[in-house]
Every structure is written in structure tokens, then in C-alpha cells.
Amino acid sequence: MLERPAAGERAVVVQLDFGQLDVEDQLEEVRLLTESAGGAVVGEVRGRRQSPDPKTFAGSGKVQEIAAMIAGCSAQLVIFNHALSPVQQRNLERDLNCRVVDRNSLILDIFALRAASAEGKLQVELAQLEHLSTRLVRGWTHLERQRGGIGMRGPGETQLETDRRLLGNRVKLLKERLARLARQRGVQRKARRRGDVLNVSLVGYTNAGKSTLFNTLTHAGVYAADQLFATLDTTSRKLWVEGAGNIVISDTVGFIRDLPHSLVDAFHATLEAAVDADLLLHVVDSASHARDEQMAEVDRVLDEIGARDVPRLVVWNKIDLTEAGPGVERDEYGNIARVRVSSRTGEGLELLRETLAEYARAKTASRRQAQDAEACPANPDFID
């Protein structure tokens, strides 16, 4: 398992510009990630490069600047808002004489802090172990030689090989357990699909307000906070909607840019709620000036998990922080494309309920048409 930062651990964050247009947004995001992991940002180092340095990612001059910042701020940790290779991470720790964490490790650590259910913990452990498997060389170089001596003679494996084998066995076991849980959930989903109940999943960028909206609609009491990845485990509740009856609504884990593939893979079972939904409510933080990039990232992850063709409705959240009022926007075909709401104040939520009722009635009508077609199949040989 990854070593988790202690509460209030002093960190220097590093953000390099490789020609991106949203560097300030990325820097703000890594600050929030650090705080969500229990750290305190005491210094920031920025820089511009054409491409990453293969040895230290940042280059020798920037590494010296980081070292000076560490000394000046009495920092205990350096966080790169980038994905580092195992070699780059090891070289940086050697040159800085300080622990170095990259963006992927930081996100994994936050997931470890937030996971509450047994399945969520299994998913996080799997992602951590798969990430760790590429970095076993860190801290084990002194054990690369064959073990020897009294009580240390083994079957011809190096310590590193033994650790890789044991880690591989644990990964296999975790995948088997998660597969069993996924099969159980599949049976439950099939039972739900046999009914007329509309299945809705909330998706969106982390901290867009999904859990607050979920709580406001269902009174579920799901943990919601102004922090990244406040929700990891999928929670489903029934919601009574006037004119349509019960629907099932699910709150899912938030997405983020450059989400590690190991996490996407590990949480694929949890994200199946989105894949199997009749409707996705894409909750957007309308007050964020990076909302377009965040929406594009959510679309990318949805495509990656196989939810490309699931109907989507954009929920323009946090209008209380903007000048927009509650309302419903339709496309050129008259279909509802966006609903403007505030999950905090409740503005526009009645419009959202009416929209969900419209989708639920459409599903019921479609299902009845299909049943009628099965009961009265067309007979091409019949002549009136």
C-alpha cells in the first residue's frame, strides 16, 4: 500500500508548463488534491519546458530551485502535478533528499482515504498494487543480489522477484473477488431492467456537486464536501417523481483529468452503474471557468468505460454562484438538453424532477410498445 501523507504534511507542489492553455487551473487543482490528501501546500515551483527531462522530468536547474524551496519552507514532501516514471521519481528523491509523489500516486492516496465500502477498498488496493508493481525498484536496490547466509538461503529468487511474485498473487486474488461482486451486481441490474423503473446515474467532474444534488433529491445523507473525490462508492436510492412514480438514481465517483488508467480499470465495476443506466445526468460546475475542459474529460472517461451511447442530460449546477437563473434548454428537435439548477439552494430542482418524469414516461411508453409488438407479431401471410 502507498504511504499516506500525515495530516498537515508540508508540501511543495511543482507545475510545469509544456504549452497548455489551462496551467492556472491545473495548479489550483493540485492544491485541492493536496489538501484533500491531508497535506498543506507551503510552496509552489513553476517552469516552462518544451518536453520533460528523461532523468528528472524538470531538468537540473529546476531541481535546484525545488531543493531551495524545500529548504526555505521546511517542506517534507514534493508533489509533481504530472505522471513521473519510476526512474524520474527515484532520481528526484535522490537529488532532493526528500519524498517525491506524482499526480497518480496522489490521486491513489486520496482514493485510499475516501473508500468506505468493502468493494471500494478492494478496488483501491488493486489500483495501488498495480501502480506499485512498476515501482518496486524503489527502496529495494540493496536486495537485488541473491539472498544468502544462515536463514536467508532461498529457492534461487532475488528479494525483488519474490516481492513481485507475491504482489502478483495478491492482484490476482483481488481481481477474482471483484469479479464475484460484479456478477452479483449484474444479477441485481437485470432484475431492475425487467421493470418499468427508470435508472438514472449522476456523473461529472469531481466536486461538481453530484453528491449534494443526490442528497437534495433523495434525502440520502451521502457524504458531501467541498473537496475532491468526496464520493467513491456508488450509492443508489429510489426517488418518487410526481407523474412517473419511482425511479432509481445512483451517485457515482467523480472524474478528473488524467485519471490513472489503473483507477479506471479498478473502478470499472463501480462505474457499471453509468454504463447500464437509462439516462446519465452529467452534473457540471457552471461556476468553474474550466467547465468546458471538465465536460470534455467526463465525456472521454464515459467513452472509455463503454457509456458512449447512453442518453445524457446536462445539469448546469451551482447557478447560485453565477448570474444564470433556473431553466430548461431544449435542442432543435425539442428534446431537453440542459437543466439549470442549484443543488445547494434548491433552485430549478422542480424543473429537473419534471424532466426526469418526462424521461420515465417515455421509457414506460417505449416498453409497452415493445410488449405489444411481441404479443401481436406482424403476419406477412395474412391478407384482409
pLDDT digits (tens, 9 = 90+) for 280-295: 999 999 998 889 989 9
> What does the alpha-carbon distance between residue 107 and residue 169 come to, in Å, rounded to a whole number?
24
Q: Which residue has the higher pLDDT, 258 or 299?
A: 299
What is the average pLDDT across 326-354?
Answer: 92
Strands (E), the chain: 9-17, 39-48, 77-80, 99-101, 198-204, 235-241, 245-251, 279-285, 312-317, 327-330, 336-340
Helix (H) / strand (E) containing 371: helix 349-375
Q: Which residue has the higher pLDDT, 166 or 98?
A: 98
Q: Is the pLDDT of residue 107 over 50?
A: yes
289 burial level (CB within 10 Å; 0-12, 13-18, 19+): exposed
Minimum mean pLDDT range among 112-121, 209-218, 340-349 = 112-121
Q: Is the pLDDT of residue 228 over 80?
A: no
Q: How confident is the model at residue 226 (pLDDT cuts 50, 70, 90)?
A: low
pLDDT digits (tens, 9 = 90+) for 55-105: 999 999 999 999 999 999 999 999 999 999 989 999 999 999 999 999 988
pLDDT digits (tens, 9 = 90+) for 247-283: 889 888 778 887 766 667 666 666 777 888 899 999 9
What is the average pLDDT across 200-220?
Answer: 88
Q: How confident is the model at residue 151 (pLDDT cuts 50, 70, 90)?
A: very low
| pLDDT winner (highest mean) among 136-145, 217-226, 374-383 | 217-226
| Cβ neighbours of residue 199 closer than 8 Å, sequence gap 6 or more | 192, 193, 247, 248, 250, 276, 277, 278, 279
Q: Give all domains of the chain, ordered by start, each with its CATH number.
A: 9-101 (3.40.50.11060), 194-372 (3.40.50.300)
| Mean pLDDT computed over every residue of the chain | 81
299: phi then psi, degrees, rounded to nearest 5 = -60, -40
Q: Is the pLDDT of residue 221 over 60?
A: yes
> What does the alpha-carbon distance between residue 126 and residue 171 come to, in Å, rounded to a whole number?
6
> What does the alpha-carbon distance between residue 27 and residue 362 come to, in Å, rounded to a whole number?
44
pLDDT digits (tens, 9 = 90+) for 26-54: 888 899 889 888 899 999 999 999 999 99
- Is the separation of the CB atoms in 286 and 250 below 8 Å? no
Q: Is the pLDDT of residue 154 over 50?
A: no
DSSP 312-365: EEEEEE-GGGSS--SEEEE-TTS-EEEEE--TTT-TTHHHHHHHHHHHHHHHHH
Q: Is the pLDDT of residue 348 over 70?
A: yes
pLDDT recorded at residue 37: 87
| Cβ neighbours of residue 264 closer than 8 Å, sequence gap 6 or more | 271, 301, 304, 305
pLDDT recorded at residue 362: 83
Q: How confident is the model at residue 9 (pLDDT cuts 50, 70, 90)?
A: confident
What is the average pLDDT across 312-336?
Answer: 92
pLDDT digits (tens, 9 = 90+) for 64-77: 999 999 999 999 99
- Is the separation of the CB atoms in 106 and 79 below 8 Å? yes
What is the average pLDDT across 324-338?
Answer: 90
> What does the alpha-carbon distance between residue 86 and residue 102 come to, in Å, rounded to a whole number?
10
Percent of the chain with pLDDT over 70: 79
pLDDT digits (tens, 9 = 90+) for 119-149: 778 888 888 888 877 776 544 444 444 444 4
Q: Is the pLDDT of residue 383 over 60?
A: no
- What is the DSSP pairing of strand 99-101 with strand 9-17? unpaired
- Is the separation of the CB atoms in 327 and 350 below 8 Å? no
Residue closest to 129 by CA, chosen among 165, 159, 157: 165
What is the average pLDDT across 321-327?
Answer: 91
pLDDT recorded at residue 165: 78
Q: How confident is the model at residue 318 (pLDDT cuts 50, 70, 90)?
A: very high
Q: How confident is the model at residue 1 (pLDDT cuts 50, 70, 90)?
A: very low
